[in-house]
Structure 1
């Protein structure tokens, strides 16, 4: 049996009761619904639900490409014939045998829902299920309309109703697809939101007395396309007057009334007017992929499953603000408690919910810390534990002594085994910090002096680790400036290596590289070329070859952005130190990897350097949970960083380095910004920023934090140019 909202005929009261779980047919899939969006279409059509996401619970005998536990979504299109002219040309919404979720067949307001397997949307990694739900309707609606407009990259599309729920998504999708956006809405607040938060290029108030003239003037003759998501009639008439000759008007909103236009002008100006409906499964998957890549913001409220009748009541009274997502799950509480306030999902989860943690282990102080992290751009070390990390600490009941116990602590061992599997290295060792990890690795590689370490002159191990190399390893350092200004290449390294044979110089014993450095990737190609060359250098008999070490403080950011695997990248290195408190969001710690012989020796130096800890299991468990939570979020963090960089560049900021991952480094001199003002303007908006000009993004940066950052930097550059 399962819980469901049952509604038999229009006008009946919705019943929340238990009903049997259906059995999927040969070509169908049964989905255990975790979240379901609530759309106004549900209210006006049948109240059945068509924005459900969850896990595959069962499937029919003819289903070959889905497995139990796969994440899928059920949207408006539940079943089609699959063979008609519309289905065969990708126009499934026009199929004459179309069956609609929650309207013609039972929808997603139940714990288990059935749909045809071919129409089940595959939910990619990198997006939370509750954020994916609204995309199955609102997101695909505007993305499909964008495709129907035929607007090309670089051309301008006008979004009418840009300040609403659909409009805000439409603006972001249009920018993600490379279009210029003219936002039409009304009011000062909407203007600020469209220009600063949504990235629109232009704004016009559609209540203005001379809308047509303003639009034509701003766009140089009119937008190439117009998407109307507003639900009032007047903007439809306005669009026919200002759209560019040969342009397209796409109607999405459904206001009462009729559209009338000057047919002569429409024909002679070759204006296309068309309606747009939802997209098919593949277009929905495209929309999800673009949303993740571009860091598009989805706004929604999560409420308890049992609250649906109250939600409909608010909708009918016009009191509903924002979009609602029901938390369905296996065991609904049947209570009226609201689970969360408005979530702004950048696919960076800032949830404050703590109802799953026994004893309410997320105190108010941690909630405040999460809020603070949402506007802290100093570093990605400023993140605080998530719910899953706190839960992992509670559940880490191993409490072994990692020094005295012969086998060590079970949680630490499990984490080290996890890292070994990820990196492909023989052994891993949990250490207290990135600095400790780097210095242990360097000291472990080195034997009797003299010896030299070759590295980028900006490298963390040299500049930011308190002069540890000469103190702890008795090594000199050869710093190299990359000729391309971004990262080292073989051309930089080849002639700076000191081989043995000349007693006037300390021979090079280690080449230490860093990925990322100031957010810039050291590409696999260059790392591999340097490594191959270094490993080809002959050394005297009985001496170890030159070692390759990687300061991988933000290695996970680098390989994610470059789309290579950790194993591929670390094949180039004999050792690496991977920080867990930066992009990973762990409370503390790093992990070093290498051969078993190397790690056995490193344990000795870890003890010497004060890194032999006792009940480390809870910290290792926290690091493991943080890794699981944050790794899927990194593409979204990078997309958000690029989005803000694009905005800053558009308003006049120059950058010192390319924006590859999660950092923007402002060139203060070229931009004409004083460092102290960068800090003070940030503080004025409740933000934390370093005076160096480096802005660091992480998984707890909030949409509100981004909005305040953009406003602060717009004010700053505007004021500086006035001086």
Structure 2
């Protein structure tokens, strides 16, 4: 971006106005914006929002309520959590450019947030994905520049905060192809400045054509852009000559930024000193300073055949010694912003290298003050506006879009009922990838337990416990089934359902040979139900289809074999979805298999331990999905994050009979109201977080795929299953490398994500698996 334009001296007025101004402000006058609740796909989004608007260059900036736009077919609507403030935004408002921006403009072009709505033609983004919006908002996509990856040169280029509304608002629109995918392992507030400052210096670094091990001079290394340039150059394997002035800048460049050499540009023999310390001059120079002299100096000390990349913009024109440029074959390039792929590379480098972007988060209403600091030269680092209601650090990375999920401080001073031990458990859960059952109660769940109003006995009391009944009614409404029954675990729920369907042996259950009811429930089927099992391997290697099922059903016409009485399916399995289409086809076929008169038809059972994950990811109606099953067991301690329990659903006649088997299997409970209340709260407060969990899982999977990992199963929901056998990686190695990073994993290669996985946990996981892959290739 144009970070170094000289500042005009005109004075502009900045005010906060609107219709009306919010009444709830803090002592500093910061506005507390209304919460915008989670809106599932297909529901209506808010129609108004807050945004900073200026009518034309140099005129008043107003913080006021404005309409929320609707994305076009190839666009996405993004709810902005944070937006960086760039000098380009200041200059666009002040009128320092010859081309005026559009009128009634919302500025800003360093915004990060979550996809809130998508156009009909968008295929590679989902609601809940974390994305960024930068300077390049929309391009034609077909011109010679777009085809070559030079989108910033597109003749139909539209610019965020300059020709189209930008990111100083709660919702903004961007073409989906230009939306930046934010990787896990970097906080949103830190990612925001990378969308402009970071990509500016990274693109300049690429334009320099400097190779790893070669020397690049960063002119203006002590400033904001220069410090980032030094860190990017070191992260990319280059040697860095930092050029700045003063003892403080020298210490910062050499010790904080890791520069290899330092030369003071005010030195009387500066060019000779540069040649001496670099052994003939740097191979390239990046000039981010906004004065003319460093350009002339660079032309004298650059190594023959080298490249000078100009980022800063000195006022006025420049003269130079073209004879030396020609005879020394010195290239001079101007560098602009990068494209989407390059921006995502710039973000990935920060995640991989671990260097930090210097920024300061301020309230959304403080844009005027930020501009004043810029004009007076008092700005330190990068300023980032906090626009979303909540902070971004996961599990604090929540937004208005995902409901009222404000970050909770778990300590003894904050809430009397939240213990320090629970806070430690939450920290541990943030690094635990063994399962999504490792989550611990959130504040709303703890409140539900403490405030439980019923303490009945679910067996002795006539009619059961009221809180349990209320929860079961809630599940009935959610699933569309006639009845529901709260049980202690998923295993108990599955085995109760299977036993209830079966009456007199011989009988068999047909299922996927990897199914949980067969492989992970301690051999309960033959013991409790006296049934044999027909295990089927799916031909597609992922999930069963009708083609797998129909030839394996045993009808009652051969006394040599026990007839099939149940077809048991599972969703998800290894995190992969059993699609609605296949469930429907299997069910329609099975329910029409002939049975002798007086015999019940073959039953359809669903182990829906992660059904909530599946229907959220596939975006299908849970009622329709369950209509193809006679019974289902839905786990509440997985995607929902309840402390315990599952719920089984079916017809009223079926559920009435399951109560007998629940008692027989040791499932009679006392004072279950507290657990039902906790499960209800978890359903309300944690279920809306699943789209973000899935998006984070996909981003980590993309990272692992890029560094060489292969997967056993598709990454559809919240699980990554590594194909350890194909890669030749022992399972114990996964555990060992992750343990060194303070992580908890299983040797199976399955990595389970959940709503309490932290950014730090993801960053540690990526580092551990990168080290493992690097060592494997080395040896």
TM-score normalised by length of structure 2? 0.62
- Give the equivalent residue in structure 2 for 1:479: 535
Shift in Å at residue 499 of structure 1? Answer: 0.8
Does residue 73 in structure 1 map to residue 129 in structure 2?
A: no
Does residue 489 in structure 1 map to residue 545 in structure 2?
A: yes
Structure 1 counterpart of 2:191, from 145, 151, 168:
168
Structure 1 counterpart of 2:564, from 501, 508, 514:
508
Q: Which runs of 5+ in 2 are unaligned?
A: 1-10, 72-76, 86-106, 113-131, 153-179, 208-217, 244-258, 260-285, 300-308, 326-330, 339-355
Does residue 380 in structure 1 map to residue 436 in structure 2?
A: yes
C-alpha offsets along residues 620-665 of structure 1, whole Å, 9 cap, x if unaligned? 1111111122222111111111111111111111111111111111
Distance 1:474 1:717 in 2: 47
- Give the equivalent residue in structure 1 for 2:478: 422
Shift in Å at residue 715 of structure 1? Answer: 0.7
- Give the equivalent residue in structure 2 for 1:289: none
- Give the equivalent residue in structure 2 for 1:143: 133
Distance 1:530 1:359 in 2: 51
Shift in Å at residue 673 of structure 1? Answer: 1.6
- Give the equivalent residue in structure 1 for 2:698: 642
Shift in Å at residue 713 of structure 1? Answer: 0.7
- Give the equivalent residue in structure 1 for 2:733: 677
- Give the equivalent residue in structure 1 for 2:162: none
- What is the correspondence of 1:358-437 to structure 2 with a 5 Å cutoff? 359-437=415-493
Distance 2:465 2:660 in 1: 17
Distance 2:67 2:513 in 1: 56
2:80–2:111 Cα contact (<8 Å) kept: no
- What is the correspondence of 1:276-287 to structure 2 with a 5 Å cutoff? none
- Give the equivalent residue in structure 1 for 2:663: 607
- Give the equivalent residue in structure 1 for 2:628: 572
Larger gyration radius, structure 1 or structure 2: 2
Structure 1 pair 328–636 and aligned structure 2 pair: CA distance change class (3 A): closer
C-alpha offsets along residues 69-121 of structure 1, whole Å, 9 cap, x if unaligned? 9585312238xxxxxxxxxxxxxxxx65999xxx543x3xxxxxx52445699
| Higher alpha-carbon deviation: 705-714 or 144-153 | 144-153
User: SS of the residue aligned with 2:486?
Assistant: strand
| Higher alpha-carbon deviation: 559-568 or 144-153 | 144-153
2:205–2:233 Cα contact (<8 Å) kept: no
Structure 1 pair 502–305 and aligned structure 2 pair: CA distance change class (3 A): same
Shift in Å at residue 237 of structure 1? Answer: 8.9
1:237–1:261 Cα contact (<8 Å) kept: no
1:537–1:545 Cα contact (<8 Å) kept: yes
The number of equivalent residue pairs is: 586
- Give the equivalent residue in structure 1 for 2:65: 115
Distance 2:759 2:692 in 1: 12
Distance 2:372 2:407 in 1: 26
Distance 1:672 1:364 in 2: 42
2:364–2:385 Cα contact (<8 Å) kept: no
1:298–1:346 Cα contact (<8 Å) kept: no
Shift in Å at residue 394 of structure 1? Answer: 1.4
Distance 2:494 2:760 in 1: 36
Structure 1 pair 381–97 and aligned structure 2 pair: CA distance change class (3 A): same
TM-score normalised by length of structure 1? 0.67
Structure 1 counterpart of 2:611, from 555, 560, 565:
555
- What is the correspondence of 1:141-220 to structure 2 with a 5 Å cutoff? 143-148=133-138, 155=149, 168-169=191-192
- Give the equivalent residue in structure 1 for 2:744: 688
User: SS of the residue aligned with 2:35?
Assistant: strand
Structure 2 counterpart of 1:345, from 392, 397, 405:
397
Distance 2:694 2:203 in 1: 22
Structure 2 counterpart of 1:461, from 511, 517, 520:
517
Does residue 54 in structure 1 map to residue 77 in structure 2?
A: no
Shift in Å at residue 157 of structure 1? Answer: 8.3
User: SS of the residue aligned with 1:557?
Assistant: helix
Distance 2:109 2:420 in 1: 34
Structure 1 pair 618–66 and aligned structure 2 pair: CA distance change class (3 A): closer
Shift in Å at residue 615 of structure 1? Answer: 0.9
| Higher alpha-carbon deviation: 183-192 or 621-630 | 183-192
C-alpha offsets along residues 508-540 of structure 1, whole Å, 9 cap, x if unaligned? 000000000001111111110000000011211
User: SS of the residue aligned with 1:692?
Assistant: coil
2:30–2:363 Cα contact (<8 Å) kept: no
Q: Which runs of 5+ in 1 are unaligned?
A: 1-9, 25-29, 37-46, 57-64, 79-94, 108-113, 122-126, 211-227, 242-248, 277-296, 330-338
Shift in Å at residue 360 of structure 1? Answer: 2.2
Structure 1 pair 637–342 and aligned structure 2 pair: CA distance change class (3 A): closer
Shift in Å at residue 443 of structure 1? Answer: 0.7
Distance 1:77 1:694 in 2: 48
- What is the correspondence of 1:271-350 to structure 2 with a 5 Å cutoff? 323=384, 325=386, 345=397
Structure 1 counterpart of 2:675, from 619, 624, 628:
619
Structure 1 pair 310–166 and aligned structure 2 pair: CA distance change class (3 A): closer
C-alpha offsets along residues 246-302 of structure 1, whole Å, 9 cap, x if unaligned? xxx999xxx88548689999xxx9x999899xxxxxxxxxxxxxxxxxxxx999999
- Give the equivalent residue in structure 2 for 1:285: none
Distance 2:233 2:606 in 1: 42
User: SS of the residue aligned with 1:512?
Assistant: strand
Cα RMSD for the two superposed structures:
5.6
Shift in Å at residue 405 of structure 1? Answer: 2.1
- What is the correspondence of 1:34-45 to structure 2 with a 5 Å cutoff? none
